Amino acid sequence: MTGVAVIGIDHRHAYGMLGGMLDAGAIGIGWWTEGSPKTLDGFVKRYPDLPRVDDRHAILSDPNVDMVLISAIPSDRADLAIEAMHAGKDVMVDKPGCISQAQLDRIMAAQAETGRIWSVDFSEHFEVPAVAKAAELIADGQIGKVVQTVGLGPHRLNAPLRDPWFFDKTRYGGILADIGSHQIDQFLFFTGSETAEIAHACIANHNNPDHPGFDDFGEIVLRSPNGHGYIRLDWYTPDALPNWGDGRLTILGTEGYIELRKYIDVAGRDGTDHLFLVNKTRCEYIDCKDVPITYFRNLIQDIRDRTETAMKQSHAFEVTRLALLAQEMAGG
């Protein structure tokens, strides 16, 4: 049985990371975090029976822990992951996996030295049934060869609910390094690209003068031998929207296209995971909410068999590298 523990719950993605592993059959061992982040009450409410430990080294020395899940402050994730790998633990980290190329170089060196798994839970891909369905349709040839992705990543700011680190770029890394990594992951995945060129990257702060070091808008243009990509990110989700963001992905193929409305169909169908398919013979809506996701289940298999079925190690590194490069190109 695969045992998992959490180190750092500073971002709410910790909820989904742990929930996904438990739903896939892992056993929760315990959790540690520094202080009392604003995510604390929500985490305890969701996992009241999981014990909190006073010292993270108790987790690292526990032989029952196979994988450590890390959703600490982004600037701290590299050191925690390296520490865990050297302690013999596989690692799943929230995005961004790190916030500088120097940190990524150290992570790559530790992974090569230890042979442990360093996986990034790109939740807008791995936790979204509609993405799994799109991959199935594309593999079946429903839209021909994929030539472009357009990824839109709007987010709700909820400034009063954020800890101070959230607005400090030396701690959160910037909008392209952070939520841009979701969209880069999907571009590489759907176009079948191992790498890409950052043709354009920009950041801006249009609406948060009280936090001048915060990026509230960003965009990236990607290209590879296999296709093209456009990414738009923002923290402008309006109050009337009933969830955190109208995340969308359009996948253009030579014989059709797919649009994903991942979290909401504005003024349309209820629920999440809406997919629209248009090709030579089909123009239809597909409800994907019951499509199984496989990342967590495959990751448990990888921990056991030392395989790369959930995600290639090289992919995790390359997505992170490109996101960091885009942030640097845009002005840091």
DSSP line for 275-312: EEEEESS-EEEEE-TTSPP-HHHHHHHHHHH---SS--
Q: What single letter denotes the amino acid at residue 166?
A: F
Question: Could you tell me the CATH number of the domain that includes residue 69?
Answer: 3.40.50.720
SS3 content of the chain, % helix, strand, coil (to 5): 35, 25, 40
Residues 6+ apart with CB under 8 A from 325: 101, 198
Rounded CA separation 169/14 (Å) = 21
* 330 domain residue, yes or no: no
| Same domain membership, residue 130 and residue 82 | no
Average pLDDT for runs of 10 along the chain of length 332:
97 97 98 96 97 97 98 98 98 98 98 98 98 98 98 96 94 98 98 98 97 96 98 97 97 98 96 98 98 98 98 98 98 91
| Same domain membership, residue 303 and residue 250 | no
| Same domain membership, residue 199 and residue 90 | no
CB atoms within 10 A of CB 228: 17
Rounded CA separation 149/187 (Å) = 6
* 231 domain residue, yes or no: yes
| Same domain membership, residue 257 and residue 189 | yes
H-state helical runs in 8-152: 13-23, 40-46, 56-60, 74-86, 101-114, 123-126, 129-139
* Three state DSSP letters for 245-277: CCCEEEEEECCEEEEEECCCCCCCCCCCCEEEE
* 324 domain residue, yes or no: no
* 112 domain residue, yes or no: yes
pLDDT at 22: 98
Q: What single letter denotes the amino acid at residue 17?
A: M
| Same domain membership, residue 156 and residue 108 | no
pLDDT at 332: 87
| Same domain membership, residue 8 and residue 108 | yes
CA pseudo-torsion sign 213, 215, 219, 224: positive
| Same domain membership, residue 106 and residue 28 | yes
Tokens representing residue 4 in the block: 């998992």
pLDDT at 200: 98
| Same domain membership, residue 265 and residue 139 | yes
| Same domain membership, residue 101 and residue 9 | yes
Tokens representing residue 139 in the block: 């593999």
* 328 domain residue, yes or no: no
* 331 domain residue, yes or no: no
* 192 domain residue, yes or no: yes
Q: Which domain holds residue 165?
A: 125-287
* 66 domain residue, yes or no: yes
Distances in Å between the alpha carbon of 50 and those of 19, 195, 228?
Answer: 12, 39, 44
What b/e string do you get for 45-83 counting C-beta neighbours within 10 Å, with b at 16 or more?
eebeebeebeebeebbebeebbbbbbbbbbbbbbebbbb
| Same domain membership, residue 202 and residue 247 | yes
Residue 306 backbone zone (phi > 0: left; psi -120 to 50: alpha; other: beta) = left
| Same domain membership, residue 138 and residue 113 | no
Question: Could you tell me the CATH number of the domain that includes residue 136?
Answer: 3.30.360.10
- Domains of the chain: total: 2
> Which residue shows structure tokens 């948060």?
208
| Same domain membership, residue 276 and residue 129 | yes
